[in-house]
Structure 1
Amino acid sequence: MRDLLDIKLLSQPFETSENPELKLENSKMIAQIYSKLENCLSVLSDMKARRSFIYYGPIAEELGLEQKQAEIKSIWEEELLSRVHPEDLQKKYRLEFQFFQLLNTIDAAERMDYQVITKLRIRNKEGKYILIKHRLAYIGSSEDGSIWLALCLYNMIYDHPDFNIPQGVIVNIKTGKIMDSNQQRFTDILSLREKEILQLIKHGRRSKEIADKLGLSINTVNRHRQNIFQKLNVTNAMEACRIAETTGLF
């Protein structure tokens, strides 16, 4: 799943934005403010340059993280991610992939209204798993709509029985609407007809065979194919089938 994320995130065209240096510096300031305001670990990732900036709040000491590298040559904070429970890590990647797919259907100006919120089990400095709240937001896009800057926040979860964090959701923080919860996996991205056609494509059927089987014109089938590719943000049938399987559309 992380390989799919890498392909999608890093293969974007990233056409030059106006004042990219200023936007990056402002985003770094936002990340640093969050780390101080919420006592959290804040990670700003630059997809175009394939690097991240890390700002260490007090939580870093609890997790036993070495507070040395303020900048790393990766979009993944490996030292921290290596401490996440394997099941939670895969859940995190799966939800983030779906988040990326969703944001590609949304106007760039509205993307900051959405966040991924995930509960993670992370090993602390004593090697014991503790619960951490993870939030992901994309806070910068290139002129062509490429998702450029991502902000990840890692917070301690309050130790109180009435305080709870969802296992994993995508939420519109402007309206409070939850876009995805637990096992619900954007099943409405594709229509029933598009899913039916994609299933047939998966089994090696060509457009004419699909048209004959479903009683459709070949032009209609080809139009559905293009709609599927556009919705899933892919360029070929093999990639569309792979994404549909990994995101639970099949």
Structure 2
Amino acid sequence: MNIVDELNSRFLTQSLASKDGGLSAAELDKYKKIASGYAEMENAVAVLSDMHANVSYVYYGQFSKTLGWRCIPAAENRIDSIWEDGILKLMHPDDLHEKYLQELRFFHFVRRQPKMKRADFYLASKLRMKDGAGNYQFVLHRLFYVSSPVTNGLWLALCVYTPWFPMFAGKSVVVNSVTGEVMELGRRNDSQILSYRETQILRLIAKGMMSKDIALLLSISINTVSRHRQEILRKLQVKSSIEACRVARELGII
């Protein structure tokens, strides 16, 4: 299983729509126009992903020619996935893996913010991508999240790709677009992804302990251990305990 599947399992299992109604088509159209505007005004490649419908809308500015694509400027290309494989396969494998880890960190960072403040932040990353000649060049990637208007979940993700410029020196940082504050999401933030009890249980799982042994050691029921295990998988966006331990080690949680 790759980390795309891990992120997928998290993004697509959010509660995004209310029981008595869906998400606004007019609201979606507003953000599609914003994505198209990035492509037109910044010559960017912009990808708007709807995590409720599991579809993406891609808009190609002139920068797409640098990446070797012959696309109609500002034309909309719908993809039945929240992942744009045509873009992802151009990224250097090491940068792609780090990108997913940073997106996992940023996802949890944004979810912890008050809903009215979430739009203040975006993630900026320096990536290597292949150009039309097959050579790697640096690219600036920005990620914005849009909250669901009817629940507390995150509804849309907007990725913007443009040429990297030397004034952006960081590898991957969170930017507060209101105050100009810049911060890195490191291990101090990772420790907030899992609760103390979840971290405790995951460490025991990593040691090879079974649920019944963990329950006995911690003086809790097996059902409680099982609930914690499911929550660990949900928060780390994985499908197995083995993958949970691997991702947690990479994030420095265990």
* TM-score (normalizing by structure 2): 0.79
Q: Indicate the residue corresponding to 1:24 in structure 2.
A: 28
- The answer to whether the 8 Å contact 2:45/2:162 transfers is yes
Q: Indicate the residue corresponding to 2:170 in structure 1.
A: 166
Q: Does 1:248 align with 2:247?
A: no
Q: Read off the aligned partner of 1:101 and give its amino acid letter.
A: H
Q: Indicate the residue corresponding to 1:71 in structure 2.
A: 78
Displacement of 1:102: 2.3
Task: Provide the rounded CA distance (Å) in 2 between the counterparts of 1:6 and 1:187.
Answer: 19
- The answer to whether the 8 Å contact 1:117/1:168 transfers is yes
Alignment of 1:49-68 (within 5 A): 49-67=53-71
Q: Deviations over 1:74-109 (max 9, x none)?
A: 111111111111111111111111212222322332
Say if 1:66 and 1:165 are closer, same or farther in 2 by CA, change over 3 A. Answer: farther
Q: Indicate the residue corresponding to 1:38 in structure 2.
A: 42
Q: Does 1:96 align with 2:103?
A: yes
Task: Provide the rounded CA distance (Å) in 1 between the counterparts of 2:23 and 2:189.
Answer: 35
Q: CA RMSD in A?
A: 3.2
Alignment of 1:201-212 (within 5 A): 201-203=205-207, 204=209, 205-210=213-218
Q: Does 1:2 align with 2:9?
A: no
Q: Indicate the residue corresponding to 2:189 in structure 1.
A: 186
- The answer to whether the 8 Å contact 1:185/1:247 transfers is no
Task: Provide the rounded CA distance (Å) in 2 between the counterparts of 1:132 and 1:234.
Answer: 27
- The answer to whether the 8 Å contact 1:200/1:210 transfers is no
Say how many residue pairs are matched: 236
Task: Provide the rounded CA distance (Å) in 2 between the counterparts of 1:187 and 1:13.
Answer: 23
Displacement of 1:237: 9.5
Q: Any idea what SS the aligned residue of 1:152 has?
A: strand
Displacement of 1:45: 0.7
Equivalent residue in structure 2 for 1:136, among 143, 154, 158: 143
Q: Indicate the percent of aligned positions where both proteins have the same amino acid.
A: 33
- The answer to whether the 8 Å contact 1:229/1:237 transfers is no
Displacement of 1:177: 3.9
Q: Any idea what SS the aligned residue of 1:165 has?
A: coil
Displacement of 1:229: 4.2
Q: Any idea what SS the aligned residue of 1:144 has?
A: coil
* TM-score (normalizing by structure 1): 0.80
Q: Indicate the residue corresponding to 1:215 in structure 2.
A: none
Q: Any idea what SS the aligned residue of 1:137 has?
A: strand
- The answer to whether the 8 Å contact 1:27/1:139 transfers is no
Any unmatched runs of 5+ in structure 1? 212-217
Displacement of 1:247: 2.6
Q: Read off the aligned partner of 1:37 and give its amino acid letter.
A: M
Task: Provide the rounded CA distance (Å) in 2 between the counterparts of 1:134 and 1:186.
Answer: 21
Equivalent residue in structure 1 for 2:125, among 101, 106, 118: 118
Q: Indicate the residue corresponding to 1:85 in structure 2.
A: 92
- The answer to whether the 8 Å contact 1:41/1:56 transfers is yes
- The answer to whether the 8 Å contact 1:114/1:171 transfers is yes
Task: Provide the rounded CA distance (Å) in 2 between the counterparts of 1:196 and 1:3.
Answer: 25
- The answer to whether the 8 Å contact 1:44/1:53 transfers is yes
Q: Any idea what SS the aligned residue of 2:117 has?
A: helix
Q: Which has the higher contact order (CA 8 A, sep 6+)?
A: 2
197-206 or 50-59, which moves further after superposition? 197-206
Task: Provide the rounded CA distance (Å) in 2 between the counterparts of 1:234 and 1:89.
Answer: 17
